[in-house]
Chains A and B, each alone.
Chain A
């Protein structure tokens, strides 16, 4: 069974940093592109970043470019999202997702990690 389990969420002050982790199991992690998608409270879904299966290429939405870094450790089957210079508008539930076929279709989702940016 495919499982994605996020951790590392919490309450953080504006301008500070937080790092999310996503432990993957039930599939060959190194074969798949992965992505983070977020959802602000009572809002819709917003793609944040993607990474290729090797980790050699990464893609970001403009509003997080230069502040967030997506990375992966294929030996540990773990995806990361380093979030720096956090803003109130980054407050959301962050979902770790598996990209089916390396083309942007998210066929597996974690339970989500809640991030609240507030003073």
Chain B
């Protein structure tokens, strides 16, 4: 299957600093990428939809000024956690979809390996 790569896989930062996480589609172009957050022993929670060349769409309850998303190219989306606090510590996962061949395309999403953020 297609490959989605996240970097870094782990990061520890001090409270009040900002952290940037990269999500790359390595062998395909992705006009749409998604960002999820997962707390221990819980399911993935969709945070936002990242659209190449336009503003991201955030899910209800997710602060757009806290979680800045940039999708500057067809292979790269970044998530910046601004002014991080210990409660932002979590597992952040991105996914990317192959551009469907038709409006009813059924291409599956591919997920990155995740980034474990620890804010101390």
Are both chains from one complex?
A: no
Q: Which chain B residues have a beta carbon within 8 Å of chain A's beta carbons?
A: none
Q: Which chain A residues have a beta carbon within 8 Å of chain B's beta carbons?
A: none
